Structure 1
Amino acid sequence: MRFHTRKWVKPEDLNPNGTLFGGRLLEWIDEEAALYSIIQLENPKTVTKYISEIDFQSSAKQGDIVEIGIQVIKFGTASLTLKCEVRNKMTRKPIIKVDKIVMVSLDEHGKAKPHGKTQVEFVKDRLADE
């Protein structure tokens, strides 16, 4: 799994218990999955279709640095299926795992659009081809 993004847990990210609010963490995960998928599918009109059961394994507190990892599970015709793990950057302790996130590429009418992708591509490799 590649960890792409780091977030610093700030006071506005906390719940009344003084730990990272789960809703904020899910927002970060959804945004990371969207950005990753948009880049992979080369389509800014890519949306979240499905997020599976999530498993909160530990918490984070103010001042912690968390990192978000994304891994491709499968390329569909118009979709990309991912899994995600968020962990504490310093301790590497898992905070949350999401087994399945399905992102869908859309056309200008909001309908599923085949993307033609079959494997992970890196932007640096695309640029080398130009």
Structure 2
Amino acid sequence: MHYVATKICRTSEIGINGNLFGGTMLSWLDEAGAAYAGYLCRDPNIVTLKMEEVLFKRPVKISHHVRIYARVYTMGKSSITLDVEARRFDFDKELEESVCSTRMVYVKIDHQGNPTPIDPRLRENMDQSISDLMQRL
């Protein structure tokens, strides 16, 4: 997976049980995923189409650093599907633990908000990269 972003959990983002609000985490995942999709598509005009099931595995507490990673699952004509994962970083152990993960679909759009094709050369390069990765696994 590719490193995309780091967020730091603040007091204002904590719920009554002392954990990060789930909605805040979803926002972080969406923002990081969209930024990565825009980078891959070489275009900032990316919108979220769908977020699949999100599995919250561990709590995030005040001052935890959360690193967000993503990788391409598939790329269509105008859409890109990413696996996105958040990991909290333990400074003492120098260890990352998965906090939650999901699969997200983004669509490249034009200035009117209509889907627009991703450059075919980018899709071909991405397809080749995915194929190479699968062969190594």
In structure 1, what residue type is equivalent to 2:83? Answer: K
Superposition CA RMSD, Å: 1.1
Structure 2 unpaired stretches of 5+ = 127-137
In structure 1, what residue type is equivalent to 2:98? Answer: P
- Correspondences of 1:86-105 after superposition (within 5 Å): 86-90=86-90, 91-98=95-102, 100-105=103-108
- Correspondences of 1:1-130 after superposition (within 5 Å): 1-90=1-90, 91-98=95-102, 100-116=103-119, 117-118=122-123, 119-120=125-126
Deviations 1:13-34 (A, max 9, x none): 1111111111111000110011
TM-score, L = length of structure 2: 0.82
In structure 1, what residue type is equivalent to 2:27? Answer: E
Deviations 1:49-103 (A, max 9, x none): 01001100011101111100111111110011001111111231111011x2000
Name segments (4+ residues, structure 1) moved above 3 Å: none
- Write the distance in 1 (CA, Å) between the matches of 2:82 and 2:67: 16
- Write the distance in 2 (CA, Å) between the matches of 1:4 and 1:34: 10
In structure 2, what residue type is equivalent to 1:29? Answer: L
- Write the distance in 2 (CA, Å) between the matches of 1:34 and 1:115: 14
- Write the distance in 1 (CA, Å) between the matches of 2:88 and 2:24: 15
- Write the distance in 2 (CA, Å) between the matches of 1:82 and 1:61: 26
Tell me how many residue pairs correspond in the alignment.
119
TM-score, L = length of structure 1: 0.86
Higher relative helix content: 2
